[in-house]
Chains A and B, each alone.
Chain A
Amino acid sequence: MKRNSDIQWLESLLAKYLYREPVMFDFQQWAQRYPREAQLLERGYKDADQSHETKFYHIWRLIMESKITRYSAAAVIVLATALVLLGPFGTPGNDSVVLADVQQKVANIETMIIRGTKTFTLPGKNGDICEFEGVKCQFDLVKYSSIKYGLVEEGYVGDELIYRFTLNRPKRQTLLVLPPCKKYGVFTSTDKQMQLLENLTPSGLINLFLEGYHRDLGRDDINGVEVEVFECKDTEPFIGLLPKVIADIQSLKGKVWIGIEEQLPLRVEGDILIGKSLMTMFNDLNLHEVNTFGEYNVELDEEIFDIKPPEGYTEFTLSDILPLIPVEAKAGLAGLGIVPIGLIFWKRFRRKKTAVKQ
């Protein structure tokens, strides 16, 4: 009896404080707010083919409906977890690098400075560094990259600047400066070169890695920074970046070191075998290039990307290049139709004639 009176007292209180007048549903108003749903109703669900909209929870519900599928799914999950944690694939950890995330992150980088080395060696000669006109082809590199302005690559031997290559994006022009011989050349950048420029950004490099076959080599350490290393051996994405005549990329092996914490590339290393082409002055050469990243989104002056030739420099012509190319390579050039055959023999004839006169 006491209980009943208690409940009545409480019920009246609850009714007093919680009661609300029922809200009437206005279908017209609702249909205005949700026109797609209202149309669906009017059409009698004729267009509502949901077979293509199989979502995760539909699959989940399907699994959970039967005891057999439910326990099978649980067994698969347990097995997969055990394999990942204890198996030979390595422990992923909470901080593992996902290249797709890195790709997204590097896409936001506007500018960067890359440092490194570029070494040309002769294949099959115990890795001897090749020499060209008395200069050892082992360069210290500094690259300035800007999404807005373009790319500059400087190659040094010791403190001496050997070459400077400027690809100006807005003007679509390329300037090559060779300080040792005070020569320069200006070329209009082709679409291919512009594509190459895209590929030299961190974003481009990661995209190239993702395009080809790559594998995770596990963890490493660069100057105390924990990194994850990825290797790419697929030449396919790199073929066609440059015309075969300029750089005949025959094989490529690349590695990229990605910082675990920053999720950004810290180092890229590549070994490229380049066949006889203009870039190697028609020799077979190995190019070993190391790029160290780290200076991201730094302020880069527009003047760095200026393609105005320096004062006191003269433009190099084909006749400046021809003496540097071996005779057999010249024949190759002529064969490829790059250099008119008459020009080569006329040059040789003129040089002989001058020597006789002297």
Chain B
Amino acid sequence: MKTQSRSVSHGMMAKTENEDQILVQQALRGKPKSFGELCRRYYPSLIAIADSILLDHHLAEDAAQETLAAACRNLKTLKRPESFGAWVGTICRNVAKDMLSELPRQRKAAERYASLEHDCDDCDHGMIMTEAVQQLPQHLREVVYLRFYNEMSYEQMAKVLGATQQSIDGRLRRAKKKIAAFLAKKGFRR
């Protein structure tokens, strides 16, 4: 049963990959709508990836738009159009990291200060949860954001991360384990 469902999802993934390939080829032939469709497909994932790095939703939106612009400029250089999702995800990671390095130091310091301020017994669950996610390594934080940001399926996540669903499942489990340990350390009770 498990094997059957895996083969079904693999088939669906291949289908969407084919769709991506067609859309990329159409975009290269002068059909802006096709590129628009690709953007619509991946925009929420890109925001989630960028937000996991920048930890700011508005900046993440900017990063996602900038990513799509960069992808548009370099679409001709894409060697495997079927992996558009993974390609655009990598661009997004780089764009977000660049933006993060350009953020004013004062702002980073203020954020650090704010995070320290929340480190007290009276803090609400939301703050502790945010902290618990923020303390994760970037590659684990990324899967958590993708999974819970827009309730993304494993299949969608696999496309944008360029990884198998099994490895994503493994990463998610490790992330949850770390979050649970952090919450326990903070004395968080359900």
Contact = CB atoms under 8 A, between A and B. Distances in A.
- The finding on whether chains A and B are genuine partners in a shared complex, rather than unrelated, reads yes
B35 interface: yes
Contact of A41 (B72, B147, B179): B72
B185 interface: no
Interface stretch (B23-31, B81-89, B105-113, B115-123): B23-31
A15 B148 contact: yes
Contact of B151 (A9, A19, A38): A19
Q: Is the interface of B mostly helix, strand, loop or mixed?
A: helix
B180 A42 contact: no
Contacts of B163: none
Contacts, number: 90
B30 A42 contact: yes
A193 to B, nearest CB: 49
A38 B75 CA distance: 12
Nearest to B72: A37
Contacts of A20: 57, 149-150
A40 interface: yes
A44 B39 contact: no
A48 interface: yes
Contacts of A40: 72-73
A14 B179 contact: yes
Given A27-B39, A41-B30, A17 B126 contact: yes
Interface string A1-34: 0000011011101110111101111010011011
A18 B133 contact: yes
A50 B176 contact: no
Interface stretch (B4-12, B13-21, B40-48): B40-48
B77 interface: yes
Which range holds the interface residue count of chain B?
Answer: 35 or more
Contacts of B47: 23
Nearest to A15: B148
Contacts of A19: 148-151
A43 interface: yes
Which range holds the interface residue count of chain A?
Answer: 20 to 34
Nearest to B48: A20
B32 A38 contact: yes
B174 interface: no
A13 B61 contact: no
Nearest to B126: A17
A59 to B, nearest CB: 13
A7 B57 CA distance: 26
A25 B40 contact: yes
B68 interface: yes
A132 interface: no
Interface in B58-77: 61, 65, 68-69, 72-73, 75-77
Given A17-B125, A23-B47, 5 more contacts: A10-B180, A14-B176, A18-B144, A25-B43, A33-B69
10 contacts: A9-B190, A10-B179, A14-B148, A19-B149, A22-B44, A23-B44, A23-B47, A33-B69, A45-B30, A45-B75
Interface of A: 6-7, 9-11, 13-15, 17-20, 22-25, 27, 30-31, 33-34, 37-38, 40-46, 48, 50
